[in-house]
Homo-oligomer: A and B are copies of this chain.
Amino acid sequence: MAQKKNRAAGAAKAKNGIRNKLFDFKREQILEVAERFFYHRGYQATTVDAIAEELGVTKPFIYYHFENKRDILLHLLERTMSRSLSVFDGVDVEKGPPVEILKELVQRFVLAVIETRVSTAMFWRDEKDLPINDKENIRKMKRDIDGGLARIIERGIESGCFKVNDPKMVSICIAGMISWIYTWYQSDGRCTPDEIAARMSEYILNMVGAH
């Protein structure tokens, strides 16, 4: 509660004032160290002390910017999910040609997973540590992503562009194939992110029987 008030005070009146920018900048620094530590050491094994020490700040500094360790994790996870949801930006799944839209979405998804692979790994590793309510918030974003995918596949089937059964299961399969990239992608690997995106969109268009 006290921290909430602190944070409210931290978010000063001038929306674009330097105080707000500094506040956001400091939060970013904390998130960056936390993400690295959660990923390499695991969430349970990472302490707020360790994060503070790495940044050369005090523990109260951390608590001024985040309620607790869990709050930091939640911010990281929400950010990852928001990044995934952003693949729908400017795309209307209810309009336009299903083949092109699905192709575009798949390619954007692949790039989003590669970009956020560290926090995506954390998400699937640490989701059990999140309280139900917060989890629900994150699960909703996940449902929106799956729902958007399922919708474009449904439309493709309705319009005769796609020939496949069970759009809901197809969309889970697509999401799985793409999310899985975080387990195997290496920045010095055989294919560039764009090449992976191109191959996968080809595979997925085959999968839904696009023509």
Contacts and interface: CB of A to CB of B under 8 A. Distances in A.
A170, A180, A191, A208 interface centre (most CB from chain B within 10 Å): A180
Contacts of A199: 165-166, 169
A25 interface: no
Interface string A162-189: 0011100110110111011101100000
A143 B165 CA distance: 31
Interface stretch (A9-17, A61-69, A73-81, A124-132): A124-132
A133 interface: no
A107 to B, nearest CB: 14
Interface of A: 40, 42, 44-45, 124-125, 128-129, 164-166, 169-170, 172-173, 175-177, 179-181, 183-184, 191, 196, 199-200, 202-204, 206-209
Given A44-B45, A124-B125, 5 more contacts: A42-B128, A124-B124, A169-B196, A176-B177, A176-B184
